[in-house]
Amino acid sequence: MKKDNLKVVIAGGGSTYTPGIVQAMISSRGKFPFTSLTLYDIDESRNDDMYQIIDYMLEKESLTKEVSLTETTQPEVAFSEADFIFSQLRVGGMKMREVDEKIPMKYGLVGQETCGLGGFSYGLRSIKGLLEIVSYVEQYAPNAWLLNYTNPETLVSEAVRRAFPNVKMLNACDMTISIEETIATNYGYNRKNWIPVYYGLNHFGWYSSIYDKSVDRDILPEILERLEKERLHVADFNAGDDTWQEAWDMMRLMTKNFPGYLPNNYLEYYLYPNRTIEHTDPSYTRANIVMDGREKKTKEMARKIRAKEKGEILDFNFGEHGQYIMDMAASILNDQHDRFMLIVPNQGAIPNLRDDAMVEVPAYVGRSGAEPISLRFAINDFHKGLMEAQNAAEKLLVDAYFEHSYQKALQAFTLNQTVYSADPAKQILDDFIEANGNYWPELN
C-alpha cells in the first residue's frame, strides 16, 4: 500500500456531508497525506455544487497546488488508481427518503430513514447502488479500501458480504460516537479516555460498559444515574435541531424503563413506536426538515462561491462525523490499531448470536482491516430476542433482493419489529413497490 500521494474518492460526492469529511482530511494531512481528491456522483449538478465548495475550502487552506481536485460522473475516471474510497450514497435522494418516511405513517406505523419499513424501502434501493460502487472498486481499484457510511448499514453490509465477500471494506456509523460526544459534553467528561463496550445491530444496540482510563473504572453506572436526573441537551454540532432533542429525551426514557444499559437512541422506533408517531408530523417529516435546512444551506454556499461573494460563506458543523471516518482511514494507513465501532460479521463476537449476523461491535483497525473484539459474555434474552427477530427480518429482506422474492419481502416486512400485523405490512409493501419503481429489484 502506498504511504503518501494518496488518491481519495468520495462516492456520493454531492452529499451534504462532504465538506465535513474534507475538513477532517485537511486537518489530518500529517497522518493521511492525500494529493488527489475525486468527487464521484451520478448527479452532475449536485457534484458540481460540492466541487465549488471543496475548491473554495482548499483555496482558503492554500492547498490548491498540493491537492488536485476532480469531479466526475464516470466510474473509470473516479476509481482508477484510488487508494481510499469514502462512500455515502443516498439512492433516490431526499425525495425518496420523504416517501419512505410518509408511506408507513399513512398506516399508523413508524416512518424513518433507516428503521422500520421506511428503512426497508431505502434498503432495497441502497443495496443496488452500493453493490454497483463495490463492483467498480473491484474492477478499477481492487487494492483500495472502501470505507462506507451509506445507509441502512446493516442491510447494505449484509448484501456486500454475500456478493463481494473479499472486498476491503469497513462499514461504520457515526451514531455511537455522537451519543458519546453528546453525553461527554453535557456531563463534563472527555470521551477520548473512554473504552466503551457496545453490541447490537446497526441503530439497534446497547452499551454494557464504558471504562474511563482517567479514573480506571467503568463509569456507565454513574452516566445512567445522571441520565435519570439531568436532561441531555443537544451538543453544539446539533444545536437548534429539535429532532435530536426528542431523540435524547427518548433515550433517557429507555434507560429509565430498561435500566443497566445505555441504548442506542434509534431503539425508540422499536420500543416506543406509539410515542415517536405522536411526535412526528406525517406531512412534514425529517426529510422535509433536512431539505429545508442542510440541503438549502449547501446550495446557498455553492451559489455564494459562484457569485464570488465576500465574507463568511462556509456554514456547516457535523461534529465528529467526518473525523471518525478519516481516523479509520489513517488507522489503516499507519497500522495504528485504533478502536472504532464497526458493522462486521458476528463470527463469535457476540457469543450467543448467529455467526452470520452483521453486528455492530468494537473493533481494532489496522493495515489488515478490522479485528473485532469478542464480548466474552452472553447477552441477555431481552436484547437477544429483539436482535434475533430484527436480524431475521433483515436477512429475509436481503434474500428478497437477491431472489426477487415478493414472499420473502412480505415476511421481512411482517417480521420487522415496528409492525403489529401482516395487513399493514402487505399494504405498505405494495405501496412501496409502486413508489420505488425501478429503484427496487423486481419482486415476483
Catalytic residue positions?
A: 174, 266
Q: Which does 46 bind (CB under 5 to 8 A by kind): Mn ion, ligand NAD, ligand G6P, none?
A: ligand NAD
- CB-based contacts of 108: which residues, under 8 Å, 6+ apart? 277, 424
How many residues in the shown chain lie near Mn ion by CB under 5 A? Answer: 2
Q: Which does 16 bind (CB under 5 to 8 A by kind): ligand NAD, ligand G6P, Mn ion, none?
A: ligand NAD
Residue 277 CB, nearest approach to ligand G6P (Å):
17
Nearer to ligand NAD, 156 or 183 (CB): 156
Residue 374 CB, nearest approach to Mn ion (Å):
23
Residue 33 CB, nearest approach to ligand G6P (Å):
28
**How many residues can be counted in the chain?**
444
Residue 253 CB, nearest approach to ligand NAD (Å):
23
Q: Which does 89 bind (CB under 5 to 8 A by kind): ligand NAD, Mn ion, ligand G6P, none?
A: ligand NAD
Nearer to ligand G6P, 247 or 443 (CB): 247
In three-state secondary structure terms, 361 is: strand
Q: Which runs of consecutive H residues, i.e. helices, occur in 14-80?
A: 18-27, 44-60, 75-79
- CB-based contacts of 421: which residues, under 8 Å, 6+ apart? none
Binders in 154-183 for Mn ion, by CB under 5 A: 173, 175
Q: Which does 14 bind (CB under 5 to 8 A by kind): ligand NAD, Mn ion, ligand G6P, none?
A: ligand NAD
Q: For residue 226, which amino acid is it?
A: R
**Gap between the Cα atoms of 388 and 369, Å rounded:** 27
Residue with cell 413506536: 273
Which residue numbers belong to the known binding site for substrate?
97, 151, 286
Q: Which does 313 bind (CB under 5 to 8 A by kind): Mn ion, ligand NAD, ligand G6P, none?
A: none
Contact between residue 147 and residue 172 where contact means Cβ atoms under 8 Å apart: yes
DSSP string, 327-395: HHHHHHHTT--EEEEEEEE-TTSSTTS-TTSEEEEEEEEETTEEEEPP--SPPPHHHHHHHHHHHHHHH
State the CB neighbour count (10 A cutoff) for residue 230. Answer: 11
Sites of contact with ligand G6P (CB under 6 A): 113-114, 151, 173-175, 286, 290
Nearer to ligand NAD, 16 or 323 (CB): 16
Q: What number of CA atoms fall less than 13 Å from residue 19's CA on the CB side?
A: 25
**Gap between the Cα atoms of 19 and 326, Å rounded:** 12
Residue 108 CB, nearest approach to ligand NAD (Å):
25
Sites of contact with ligand NAD (CB under 6 A): 11-12, 14-17, 41-43, 46, 88-91, 93-94, 129, 132, 149-151, 153, 173-175
Nearer to ligand NAD, 41 or 268 (CB): 41
Q: Which runs of consecutive H residues, i.e. helices, occur in 164-266?
A: 175-187, 220-229, 242-257
Nearer to ligand G6P, 122 or 145 (CB): 122
Element (H, E) at 228: helix 220-229
Enumerate binding residues for Mn ion (CB under 5 A): 173, 175
